[in-house]
Structure 1
């Protein structure tokens, strides 16, 4: 009865735009009792931590730590890796692969040593290839090493559908699957608006139809949206910070929430040995079970093509 109360610890590796925003979002939402930020740039990480601490009276109680030493991540329950090469305007996520895989190989052993029981969530792009590499480098069970995948892309899709149809985003249930990148696909056949199959949706008064042309335009916009943000401000950070924080909460709170995270696929509609985003149960044990969501023939062809696209990059780097 007098045992100390178990508290949660989130470690964020990388204090750049994404990592620092993630730490801020986690503090604002009360995600973890301790938030630790690690970065090789000691001056930068110490300044970020100081800034976050100064807002302590306005958020749920939490301890904020920061260092360039991996020890700051010790005993973390969840480690989110955001460190990696920065995506430049016009550069695809897959162009980032070589430098980021090398960095992952370098830093992961130390992180596993100080946080051997943690769940590792990779946000660094290209997230599918990096996640596959991290699973091999870490030696941990695959369910404890997964990527943020298309959680953000699915949020973009739902927001775009909601705006087009004139409903709240919370009333839209739809997923982006496949690569977190140019070959990703929208799963229209299983999408719902307020429980109604999206393909049966009738436009509200004064709203345009959600026909094939509109759906194609929305899907293209989702694929291009990150590039537009990067062209305008140099990086995406707010939405991915919130998305990653929501994934962390699903782990820490053992929510069994279905999310399209990037996981190792084993015979999903015949697709295997590649990390892709499909609806997956996220709980305290990690990303545990993929959901065999129904796919149209066109969607299945697209998912297989996306898998081959990612697998080709894996092979290029000996993975």
Structure 2
């Protein structure tokens, strides 16, 4: 029996559509960047569930597909660009290990996976060790202050796995976790929060359209240097998207479409850039057709992978489901 939460997958579906459109429709990408990656970190925080196998599960779910899709996409890239020299192979290998901002083009979204892995482990260790909510909130607040200073003065640094983004992303992860723990109380104020969020978003849009404010958020490039606004605006967008997701998840057609995309969101994230790069190069398809293809074909691949054990393990990160639990417990005790 599935334990998936319908509105979460609906929100992921909206989020991955925003990611694809943000990489293909430049006229609206600026606005989509305001929320699409903060949304995924927020939802990941909502789904945070500490247990004895947390670290091993995150390794299985995030890093094994990271390696698998890197190899798959690299094979496609070699077919397109030609097989490189030995130095080229070595460079690709080093880029795989270093990750983060050094990965671009076909691999432009890979930073999210390693950043989320590092963030998940850091948050888990903090949450397990810190029992005081006041101290915990103080640490999260300090992370945001540091992320702001980092964006101002050190954003040109290239750090392995984009772990520097953890300072900013952990805030949304924590907010997602807070929402899960106190959702009944927070939901009693949902109308007020929605109204406030609409005012914030509307004001930001008007200010941008009137050229009185230019706001750009880019987590991969550590561009979050508008103090306060970098929290309030993305969070306002997330609140509205949660409201929309809960509404759409009640209707069969939108539920089926968005939940299917949400369930396959990580696979689509890995593969959509391949289609956005390859299809315009070798076909005369219009942009809308390329966009739809970059969503549908990865979703189909994900559906097929769910029924093939090897693909489930290596592409969908399900190794922990097949590995004997006694060995997982042994590994956990050894690591601790």
Instruction: State the TM-score, normalized to the length of structure 1.
Output: 0.24
Q: Which has the higher strand share?
A: 1
Instruction: State the TM-score, normalized to the length of structure 2.
Output: 0.24
Greater relative contact order (CA < 8 Å, ≥ 6 in sequence): 2
